[in-house]
Amino acid sequence: MSATSSVTAKSSATYDVVVVGAGFAGMYMLHRLRGQGMTARVFEQGSGVGGTWYWNRYPGARCDVESMQYSYSFSEELQQEWDWSERYAPQPEILKYANHVADRFDLRKDIQFDTRVESAVFDEVTNLWSVTTSDGKTVTAKFVVLATGCLSNARMPDIKGLDQFKGKVYHTGHWPHEAVDFTGQRVAVIGTGSSGIQSVPVIAEQASHLTVFQRTANFSIPARNAPLTDAERKKFRDNYPEIRRFAREVARNGIYTEMPDRGALDDGDNERRAKYEARWQRGGLTFMSVYNNLGLDKAANDTAADFVREKIAEIVKDPRTARALQPNDHPIGSKRICIDTDYFATFNRPNVTLVDIKSNPIEEITENAVRVAGKDYEVDALVLATGFDAMTGSVAKIDMKGRGGQTLNQKWAAGPRTYLGLMSAGFPNLFVITGPGSPSVLSNMIVSIEQHVDWIADCLAYMRERGLDTMEASADAEDKWVDHVNEVAAATLYPQANSWYMGANVPGKPRIFMPYIGGVGPYRKICDEVAAKGYEGFVMGAGGSATQGRGVISRGIVTLLPSW
C-alpha cells in the first residue's frame, strides 16, 4: 500500500485509510496506521478528541471501569507516566488523558475536527471509497474504519410537549461545554440509567428541588470511589504485564479480577450473603463476578438481586420510595449494572422526590412542568438522561453504500449483521471498531478497542505484503457468526431485559442482542485463529480477482459461556 497522497488542500485527496471518529478507537487506529507508513485522515464531529468523553460532561460523569485499567496499554511509557488521581476517573480527567495522548503522539495534524462524515460510497470499479463530509468535500480512500463509538448518538425522548418547555433542556450525552449551575433551581431528571444515577446525587446538592422521573428502577452498586495513593498506582504499574495479559486473554470482560469457580447455589445462605456483602463493601462492577452463574441461572441471579434489593430497603428511609427504587422486572446485570456514589441515599434528602412513571407515564411537558397523572411538577430545568441509540445509531447516520448500491441501513434493517463485529458482507474494505457482534460494550472498552485496532492494522499489513487490495466478509461466515452470537446470548439471562443491548430503548429498533457475550478472551482467540488461517471467512482480492480464506468458522464455541 503506497502513500498515494496526503495532500490536504485538495478536495479530492486520496488516503490509504479514512477513520471516522477521534475517540479512543480513532486515535489509536491513527497511531497504528502511521506506524505502518500509511496515509490516514480522521474526521471528527466534535471540536476535540475523546469521543464519548468529549460529549458526556454531565455532573458526576465517571467511568465505571477503574482508571488504572481504563487506559491504553500500547505504550509502556504512557502507562508508567500518567497519574490517575482516583479509583474511577472523572470525565474531565479522562478527557485530559485523551488530549495528552493526542499531543504525545502528535495525532492532531491528521485529524479534521468539526467535520461530520455524511456519506461513504464504494466504487466497484476502482475499489475505492468516496467519503463526503459536512464541509462539502469528498476524499477517496482504500479503506474506511468506523471508530464511531457505541454510545455516541444521544437519543432525545419522544415526549409530548418537550419542545414547548420554556426553561433549559440538557441531555446528559450532549452536555454543554460551559459550566452549568443548578443552584437554587427546580430540576427534573428523566431517566435512571447510569447517567441519571451518576448525576442525581450531584444535581441534588445544587438544586433547590430535584424531581427524578423513573421508568425502570435499576440495580446499582456503590463505586467506593477514592483518591488513588502512590502505592496503589505503583502496584498496578509494577504488575502491568500480567494485569494487561489477564485482561486481554483470560477475563470475560477485559477487567483484571478474580475468576469465580463456583455458582451462587453452591454456597449456603450465610456464606453467600457474606460474599455479596464483601463485594458490596469493595464496590464496583466486580459485584457480578462473585459467582460464575449469575448471568446464566435465574435462581442464582435472584440471590444477588435480592441482596441488592435488601440494601436499597436498608438505605432508603421512606418505604414507598424504597419499594419504587427496587428493580423487579429484569435479572440483575441483564441491563448494564450501574455503580454510584450515594445514589439511593440521595432519596433521603428533603429536596428530592421520586416519581414513578412506569405505571403513569409522563403525559406531557408543559411550558414549566412535567405532567404525570394529572399533576404538574413545576421545574426550571430539564435533564434528559435518556440514553443512546447504542451501537448502531452513529453508523446509521452515515449514508454508507456498498456493493450494488445497497446501503448499510438497508442491510441492517432487521438488526446489525457482521462477521466478528469487524466487517459486514457486501461492504468491502469497511471495518468497524467494537461493532455489533463483538464483545464491545460488555467489556472494558479500551481492551476491546486495542484488540480491534491491532487486528485491523495487522490485516492491512498482511494485505499490503501480498498485494491484495480488497477484503470483505463472506456471506456464509457472516451468517454463521450471527447465528453463533444469537445462540450464545440466548443461553444467558441478558435477552430477558428491555435494555439498550437489545435495542429495546429505541422505538421501532429491531430487538436483537447486539454485542457478543462469549467473553473477551475467547473472542480474541477466535479472531487470532481466523487471522492465522489466512483470514478465514473473509474474501480477499487483488485487481478484481478474489480468493476466500480457508474453511469456515468453527462452531461449538457456545460452550465458552461468560461467567459474570
CB closer to ligand NA7, 215 vs 272: 215
Question: Residue from 67, 130, 293, 386 that binds ligand NA7 (CB under 6 A)?
Answer: 386
Closest CA to 251 of 425, 105, 69, 21: 69
> In the bound complex, what is the minimum distance in angstroms from residue 504's beta carbon to ligand NA7?
7
**Per-residue binding letters, 317-336, with ligand NA7 (x by CB under 6 A):** -------------------x
Taking CB under 6 A as the criterion, the residue among 25, 42, 120, 151 binding ligand NA7 is 151
Q: In the complex, what is the shortest distance from the CB of residue 55 to ligand NA7, in angstroms, rounded to a whole number?
A: 11
Listed ranges 256-264, 312-320, 386-394, 474-482: which one lies at the site for ligand NA7 (CB under 6 A): 386-394
In this chain, which of 500, 535, 538, 564 binds ligand NA7, going by CB under 6 A? 500
Closer CB to ligand NA7, 15 or 500, in the complex: 500
Indicate the residue whose CB is closest to ligand NA7.
193
Nearer to ligand NA7, 216 or 334 (CB): 216
Q: Are 448 and 439 in contact (CB under 8 A)?
A: yes
Q: Is the CB of 148 or the CB of 172 nearer to ligand NA7? A: 172
Q: Where is 359: in which H helix or E strand?
A: none
CB of 212 to ligand NA7, least distance (A): 10
Rounded least distance, CB 335 to ligand NA7, Å:
7
Between residues 196 and 518, which has the closer beta carbon with respect to ligand NA7? Answer: 196
The cell numbers describing 490, all together, are 440466548
Q: How far is the CB of 8 from ligand NA7 (least distance, A)?
A: 34
Local structure of residue 67 (DSSP, 8 states): T
Of positions 215, 244, 248, 279, contacts ligand NA7 by CB under 6 A:
215
As a whole number of Å, the CA-based R_g of the chain is 24
Question: Strand 545-548 and strand 538-542: pairing?
Answer: antiparallel
172 sits near ligand NA7 (criterion: CB under 6 A):
yes
Residue 381 bridge partners (DSSP): 168, 187
Nearer to ligand NA7, 133 or 286 (CB): 286
DSSP 549: P
CB of 549 to ligand NA7, least distance (A): 34
CA dist., res. 139 & res. 117, Å (int):
11
H helices of 177-297, in order, are 194-206, 230-238, 240-245, 269-282
Taking CB under 6 A as the rule, does residue 62 contact ligand NA7? no
- Please say which residue, 304 or 370, places its beta carbon nearer to ligand NA7: 370
* Helix 520-532 and helix 445-466, axial crossing angle in degrees, nearest 10: 0
Which part of the chain contacts ligand NA7 (CB under 6 A), choosing from 112-120, 307-315, 384-392, 449-457? 384-392
Does residue 416 belong to the site contacting ligand NA7 (CB under 6 A)? no
Among positions 221-280, residues that touch ligand NA7 (CB under 6 A) are none
CB 279 within 8 A of CB 215: no
Please give the grid coordinates belonging to residue 175.
452536555
Residues 6+ apart with CB under 8 A from 86: 67, 93, 225, 226, 227, 228
Q: Please state, in angstroms and rounded to a whole number, the distance separating the CA atoms of residues 555 and 558.
A: 8
Smallest gap from Cβ 173 to ligand NA7, in A, equals 6
Answer whether 129's CB lies under 8 Å from 142's CB.
yes
Residues 181-210 as x/- pattern, contact with ligand NA7 by CB under 6 A: ---------xxxxxxx--------------
Contact 397/118 with Cβ under 8 angstroms? no
**What does the alpha-carbon distance between residue 328 and residue 177 come to, in Å, rounded to a whole number?**
37
Least Å distance, CB 217 to ligand NA7, is 9
Packing angle of the helix pair 91-104, 24-35 (nearest 10 deg): 10
What DSSP string describes 347-408? TTSTTEEEEETTTS-EEEE-SSEEEETTEEEE-SEEEE---B-TTTHHHHTSEEE-GGG-BH
Our measurement of the distance from residue 24's CA atom to the centroid of its chain's CA atoms, rounded to an integer in Å, reads 11
- Measure the CA–CA gap between 103 and 171, rounded to whole angstroms: 29
What is the smallest separation between the CB atom of 555 and ligand NA7, expressed in angstroms?
31
The footprint of ligand NA7 on residues 356-375 (CB under 6 A) is 357
Residues in the interface with ligand NA7 (CB under 6 A) total: 22
* Among the residue ranges 68-76, 251-259, 380-388, 427-435, the one whose residues contact ligand NA7 (CB under 6 A): 380-388
Under 8 Å between Cβ of 334 and 497: yes
Instruction: Record the cell numbers describing residue 138, joined without a space.
Output: 469528498
Q: CB-wise, 167 or 534, nearer to ligand NA7? A: 167
When the beta carbons of 62 and 186 are compared against ligand NA7, the nearer one is: 62
Q: How crowded is residue 2: how many other Cβ atoms within 10 Å of its Cβ?
A: 9
Q: Binding to ligand NA7 (CB under 6 A): which residues in 338-357?
A: 357
Q: In 283-392, which residue ranges form alpha helices assigned H by DSSP?
A: 298-315, 319-325, 343-346
Residues that bind ligand NA7 (CB under 6 A): 151, 157, 159, 172-173, 190-196, 215-216, 336, 357, 385-388, 500, 505
